[in-house]
């Protein structure tokens, strides 16, 4: 699948933003007043910024509001609804902490839970697609939640928890790669089943429908060179998980760890998300000889 910057930024930043808000909702760190303002500002900026990036991916954003209507059937719609409800529930909790010096703990706890629900919905947009076997896998939601909670802990200055969660997320990432590498073959779609001609003999594409490109090939025909993928996996794992985890565990002072470890973590997350899209093959490619 085409690793469009808008969807990479959307899933990475909104995951981090909702991860941070989930920790803040639990009252961690225990900040009030101006200090609290800046934490919530960062949480909202990441979550809302990510959602805005996703709007850039739309061909016809003027109908955007209609996307909230089909939550009964559509994970994309559910994600939109969950994101807005979460941000609205956390807002009064944040106001209480920033301006009123009050802690409506129950409201924060509900907000935290909703943050996780939102990230889960984001992951299901991808995990539900049978057409992309690598994503259509129970580890996809686990992967999104693990990175979100770990990155959130890092941003929330919960150094020890962050260190452990980052290592856990790295482990989930490796499991997802190993599982994902099997998925296309497991799903069983081949050029033979795609054309229905497999029973007659060995099928191969003789001529594509046109010499140029088309929307389908631009959107879904992407494929990444194996040697680049291996390098990027190493970068994603080292920068996303191992390096920030080590920094957190060796420097559990909080703020310092955030300033050093977070930029490194962000590089790793972007590499991992780029691969999430770039390595995912769509069964439609079979019609184009892929």
Partner 1 sequence: MTALPQSTDRKLGLVIDLDTCVGCHACVINCKEWNTSGTGAPLSDQEPYGDTPMGTFLNRIHTFEVEVEASPAQMVHFPKSCLHCDDAPCVTVCPTGASYKRSEDGIVLVNEDDCIGCGLCAWACPYGARELDQEAGVMKKCTLCVDRIYNENLPEEDRVPACVRTCPAGARHFGDLGDPSSAVSQLVAERGGMDLMPEQGTKPVNKYLPPRLRDRSMSGGKSLESKGDSPKGLLSWIDRALEAL
- Specify whether the CB–CB gap between 152 and 23 falls below 8 A: yes
Q: Minimal distance in Å, beta carbon 133 to partner 1?
A: 10
Euclidean distance between the first and the last CA atom of the chain, given in angstroms as a whole number: 12
Closest CB to partner 1 among residues 78, 97: 78
Angle at which helices 105-127 and 75-99 cross, to 10°:
160
The structure tokens listed for 132 are 């992309």
Binding site for partner 1 (CB under 8 A): 1, 57-61, 63-64, 66-70, 72-77, 80, 125, 128-132, 187-189, 191, 193-197, 199-210, 212-216, 219-220, 282-284, 287-288
- Indicate left, alpha or beta for 254 from its phi (over 0: left) and psi (-120 to 50: alpha): left
Q: Minimal distance in Å, beta carbon 82 to partner 1?
A: 12
The structure tokens listed for 253 are 């002072």
Closest CB to partner 1 among residues 198, 263: 198
Closest CB to partner 1 among residues 31, 121: 121
Closest CB to partner 1 among residues 1, 162: 1
Q: Minimal distance in Å, beta carbon 132 to partner 1?
A: 7
Q: Minimal distance in Å, beta carbon 62 to partner 1?
A: 8
Half-sphere exposure of 165 (CA within 13 A, CB side): 24
Q: Minimal distance in Å, beta carbon 229 to partner 1?
A: 21
Question: Please, which residues have CB within 8 angstroms of residue 117's CB and are 6 or more apart in sequence?
Answer: 82, 86
């Amino acid at each position: 699948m085409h690793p469009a910057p808008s969807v990479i930024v959307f899933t990475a930043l909104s995951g981090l933003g909702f991860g941070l808000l989930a920790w803040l909702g639990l009252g961690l760190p225990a900040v009030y007043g101006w200090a609290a303002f800046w934490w919530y500002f960062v949480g909202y900026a990441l979550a809302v910024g990510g959602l805005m990036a996703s709007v850039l991916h739309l061909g016809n954003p003027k109908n955007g509001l209609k996307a909230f209507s089909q939550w009964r059937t559509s994970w994309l719609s559910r994600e939109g609804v969950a994101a807005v409800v979460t941000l609205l529930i956390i807002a009064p909790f944040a106001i209480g902490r920033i301006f009123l010096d009050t802690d409506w703990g129950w409201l924060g706890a509900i907000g935290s839970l909703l943050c996780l629900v939102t990230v889960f919905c984001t992951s299901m947009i991808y995990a539900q697609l049978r057409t992309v076997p690598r994503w259509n896998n129970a580890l996809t939601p686990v992967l999104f939640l693990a990175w979100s909670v770990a990155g959130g802990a890092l941003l929330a200055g919960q150094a020890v928890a962050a260190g452990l969660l980052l290592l856990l997320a790295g482990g989930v990432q490796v499991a997802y790669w190993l599982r994902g590498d099997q998925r296309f073959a497991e799903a069983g779609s081949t050029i033979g089943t795609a054309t229905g001609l497999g029973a007659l003999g060995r099928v191969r594409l003789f001529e594509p429908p046109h010499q140029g490109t088309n929307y389908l090939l631009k959107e879904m025909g992407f494929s990444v060179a194996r040697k680049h993928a291996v390098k990027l996996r190493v970068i994603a794992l080292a920068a996303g998980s191992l390096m920030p985890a080590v920094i957190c565990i060796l420097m559990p002072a909080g703020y310092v760890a955030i300033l050093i470890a977070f930029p490194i973590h962000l590089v790793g997350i972007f590499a991992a998300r780029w691969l999430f899209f770039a390595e995912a093959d769509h069964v439609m490619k079979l019609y184009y000889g892929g």
